[in-house]
Chain A
């Protein structure tokens, strides 16, 4: 029983990280109808920037303090992501308004290639570490309740906490600020939003900026967990089932979907994996999402798809 709960918690933690990446997808899809395949590349790009800036900036400024260096690096990487968002809107999205979904999808794949190439040529293609002082040692909890206690990875816990805080902040931003209201208006109906004077182009820049920041946070967390390397870009592929499970247009869906996929992956790997050979988590989540889709084609919380002839 203790082992089961441990796996479950591990799954929930991993799921929180998936949610973070999925959140980036959902934000952009809601606001501009673009299915952003470049989200993974953005995570990689942001993480690379963070890892390198954390080394470079203290070197340039002669700062010795690790915390200050990290904060500056985070700000610099954030600024870089803003610049990326602006360039993408300016050079790509603005010219592709009203194109079909597949065309936009391909365009974001093109963006992904550019970001990957640019990231590795600016920042180098080695494996980097991001050290933001996450506690690494696991702890035992609830030794009274379960025999042998539960082994929890503190790092995962902190990561999940950061993710939760970020989601909370985003919710506040969307619900309470005027920019957030404009974002929701655009998400509801582009034309109506435009007709009451909301500038679509600026909203798109903002949304891509937010997605960039989300990618940065996801990149920092994943990067400090696994090291910053090229495979970080494939994180997007792991997060896709989360998005369709939760519904492409729903922020709570991304969170809950992430948790379901995280738990499903870990449980399947532990309990089903040994019987049919390991490494099944990559496709199991997709099958899980597929089964969900057969019953709810719009995902858990997606808007109901209504067809008119």
Chain B
């Protein structure tokens, strides 16, 4: 009743090809954006910004990047953490080594460096695929772990091995309070998500999907696998690299290589698989799920224990968290292997028929 496109006629090609062809979707997205930019800052306190919203935004961006590679181009990667690290450290080096480097430019350069490294480590994808490729991308992970730990130049010879940034500003806007950080991440994410959505709808995105579905067949109909695969690696690494720079600069402000370890790579892959492979929306769902779940468990478990008159020790809670996290992941994979994005689209289909499904 509320959600159906009756009477919305498309009278031009532009109408036909817009991202959200249904007016209700457009309004929903616009409303969501307005809420995110204006409503959330009015409602939310500092803790929520720092603990949930900022990590969620940054990891959504990273998940978007991983989804481009895994979901749209079908190349499984376990090295996303590596590209986050490359982005963060490259941006750091541009930031401190070049005088007066604008923050955004150093982020973009960090992303570009990450894209170059991504292309390099994407080369094996031309020869191997599937799980072999997944293991090959782990090579990138362990190599960058080692490089940023052992080569002092990258960390500006910091004796402790950790690097830190301070005094971030764009023109005269000082990014200091959690609210500023939130708005900055949100603005970047909006731009990049829109770009990603459009990229997946245009020629290059279609090439990625053709490669994903059957690379030999794609080659036969004239798609260059080398260009398609490497461009997916480049774009994905660019996104992940920017997310890494944000994670380091904005979220952590001071970080070590361990912030981008192999666990981070697994986490990102979880996000895209639970969220939904090959769906921009899914990246957000997945990121939200993975960011919120541990925090929720952490809050919820002691309360649950208290209900039964038990006090669970801190170690017990962290073990239980691990178990429940694993179990929930398996549960989701079994019940909805196509991710939360599929639930979302089924929900929308149902809503179109509501309240008269027959």
A positions within 8 Å CB-CB of B: 35, 91-92, 95-96, 99-103, 105-107, 109-114, 116-118, 120-121, 125, 237, 240-241, 243-244, 248, 277-280, 282-283, 286-287, 289-290, 293-294, 297-299, 307-309
Contact = CB atoms under 8 A, between A and B. Distances in A.
Given A91-B330, A114-B322, A121-B323, 17 more contacts: A100-B337, A101-B130, A102-B76, A103-B337, A105-B76, A106-B269, A107-B330, A107-B333, A109-B329, A110-B325, A118-B319, A241-B139, A282-B142, A283-B143, A286-B136, A293-B136, A299-B132
B135 interface: yes
Given A117-B326, A309-B217, A286 B128 contact: no
In this complex, the interface size class of chain B, counting residues with CB under 8 Å from chain A, is 35 or more
Contacts of A282: 142, 145-146
Contact of B334 (A96, A116, A125, A278): A96
A241 B333 contact: no
Question: Interface of chain A, helix or strand or loop or mixed?
Answer: helix
A109 B266 contact: yes
B134 interface: yes
B76 A101 contact: yes
B124 A293 contact: yes
A7 B133 CA distance: 31
Contacts of A280: 146
22 contacts: A102-B70, A102-B269, A103-B333, A103-B337, A105-B76, A106-B270, A107-B334, A109-B266, A109-B329, A110-B327, A110-B329, A112-B326, A117-B321, A121-B323, A125-B319, A283-B145, A286-B136, A286-B139, A287-B139, A290-B124, A299-B132, A309-B214
Question: Interface of chain B, helix or strand or loop or mixed?
Answer: helix
A120 B320 CA distance: 10
Given A287-B143, A309-B220, A105 B322 contact: no
Nearest to A41: B326
A103 B273 contact: yes
A120 B220 CA distance: 52
A283 B257 CA distance: 15
Contact of A283 (B139, B269, B329): B139
B142 A113 contact: no
A99 B337 contact: yes
Interface of B: 70, 76, 124, 127-128, 130-132, 134-136, 138-139, 142-143, 145-146, 149-151, 214-217, 220, 262, 266, 269-270, 273, 277, 315-316, 319-323, 325-327, 329-330, 333-334, 337
A307 B70 contact: no
Contacts of B76: 101-102, 105
B124 A117 contact: no
A240 B330 CA distance: 22
Contact of A121 (B132, B145, B269, B319): B319
A116 B326 CA distance: 10
Contacts of B132: 244, 248, 293, 297-299
A261 to B, nearest CB: 12
B136 A244 contact: yes
Given A110-B333, A293-B124, A293-B127, A277 B326 contact: no
A121 B315 CA distance: 8
Contacts of A241: 135, 139
B296 to A, nearest CB: 16
9 closest cross-chain pairs (CB), A and B? A113-B326, A117-B322, A286-B139, A117-B323, A114-B326, A110-B329, A121-B319, A283-B142, A110-B330
A116 B333 contact: no
B269 A101 contact: no
Given A117-B326, A248-B131, A279 B334 contact: no
Contact of A114 (B70, B273, B327, B333): B327
Contacts of B330: 91-92, 107, 110-111, 114
B316 A121 contact: yes
Contacts of A107: 329-330, 333-334
Nearest to B71: A102
A91 B329 CA distance: 13
B146 A125 contact: no
A188 B253 CA distance: 53
